[in-house]
Structure formats: structure tokens, C-alpha cells
Copies of this chain bind each other. A is one copy, B any other.
């Protein structure tokens, strides 16, 4: 394979090494400059389903792009396959980018891949990315923390194995002084709302639903906790959704302006 050397190429990416690179939320402009350089320098890029075409377009013309997206229910087998593919490519002397949606260190299963590399004597490093919660807050025009009202920011994932209930500590999550960012929150939205209400979070706690944050297909919906299951019915998209729950979400003017499904909000106003 002939691969032109990318302009920004440096000595932190020799042949036979691996970079786990955060692709950010989807908008190619929200890549870091470092991620851009590494993608341009890679000879092979292993990427998730969530990494968009605008990001992959940055790869060199001779680079191989390998889709290793996982499907629900077959995680463990697929993760082992991904680990093996990355290690084999590095041992074959490739410059490997493993491109992950968001930030590799936040719900990215990076540890499995780092450990596989290290066990094989392959050098693996991490380039951070913008996580979905930061991108969603930017789109909403709000802050995730708010002095005196939201002093704690909590990230959890609501992705459970098929058929299993979520195993989360709802008592500590139902904190009116926190902002709760729930990744992969779409399927479990009803369970999330019921559990938080049962553990004492007020019914009128504001909730923002952000689907495909930062992409042209982004959808934003503003509602309240007791109406969250109803509001999810208005989310027609198929992309990953982030739920942001807490008082700070009351301060988003864009949440109101961008709102889809205004009937849900009107109903919320009436009920309050």
C-alpha cells in the first residue's frame, strides 16, 4: 500500500502503534485538531457506526476504513473481534486509529482495547473527544452546571443487555441539586422517569432530550420528568439520544425555541 505522509505527521504515531481517538458527537468541526491529524496519518481506521462520513472523509486516500460497529445483544463476541483486529493491524506494522464516537474514556469500552494492545506489547494511546453531553448543552445554549442549583454532574448509561432491568443506584441519582446526563437513554426513558419519580425527584424537573447532537439531523425536545415517556413518543428519529435531567435545563432558551412536539410542552404547562 502506498500512503502519502500527512502534513501534520509527528513522531507520536510511528508504524505499529494504536491511537484510540475520540470522534466527538458527529459534526466534523467538533473533532479536535489532534484527532484530525491522527486520522489523516492513519493507514487503517477502525470505526463505530456512530462516526459520521464527514469525519471519515479526513482519512488519507490510501487508508483502509473498517466498520466495526456493534449490534445490541452481541457485544462480548464483537468486542473480542475488535480487540483482535486492532492488535493484528498494529503487529503488521500499520498506524492504527480506532475511532470512537464521543470521548473514548466515557462509555467507550476503551479499557478492553487498551488491555488487548498492552498484552500484545503494542503501544496504545488515547486522544480525547467532545462527549455528547457537552455537545448537547452547547446546542441547547445552556450550562450543565449552575452555581447554587446544579453543583454536580452525573453521567450514566441506560443501555442494558436485552431483557434486563437497568442496574442503577436510583436513590443517589434522584438528586435535585445535580444534572443527570443519561447516555443511550431512548429505550429506557420510561423506566428512568418512573424510577427517578419513585425516588423523590419532583415531577416538574425539566428534561431535555437531544438526539444526534451536533449533526444536521439533531432533534431537541424540552419536557418535564413526569411527561418524559409521553415526550419520547414525539421523538421519531433513530439516532442515539441523550437525556439531560435537572434544574439547569430550565435555563435553555434554545430548548424552547427549537422544540418539536409542542403539545407535550403545552400539556406540561397546563399540569403545573
B-side contacts of A33, CB under 8 Å: 28-33, 36
Q: Knowing A29-B37, A105-B142 are in contact, say whether A126-B137 is a contact too (CB < 8 A).
A: yes
Give the copy number.
2
Let me know if B152 and A169 touch, CB within 8 A. Answer: yes
Cα distance, A107 to B137, chains bound together (Å):
13
Kindly state whether residue A118 has any CB partner on chain B within 8 Å.
yes
Query: Which residues of chain A from 133 to 171 have a CB within 8 Å of any chain B CB?
Result: 133-135, 137-138, 141-147, 151-157, 167-169, 171
Main secondary structure of the interface of A (DSSP, over half): mixed
Chain A count of residues within 8 A CB distance of the other chain: 61
Given A34-B30, A152-B169, A248-B111, A126–B138 Cβ distance below 8 Å? Answer: yes
CB distance from A106 to the nearest CB of B (A): 6
Q: Are the C-beta atoms of B144 and A105 separated by less than 8 Å?
A: yes
Asked whether A111 lies within 8 Å of B143 as measured between CB atoms, the reply is yes
CA distance A107 to B147 in the complex (A): 8
Q: A29-B37, A114-B143, A151-B168 are in contact. List 20 more A-B contacts (CB 8 A).
A: A29-B32, A30-B32, A30-B34, A33-B33, A103-B130, A104-B143, A105-B133, A105-B138, A106-B143, A106-B144, A111-B143, A111-B248, A128-B130, A128-B137, A128-B138, A131-B134, A151-B167, A152-B168, A169-B175, A172-B175
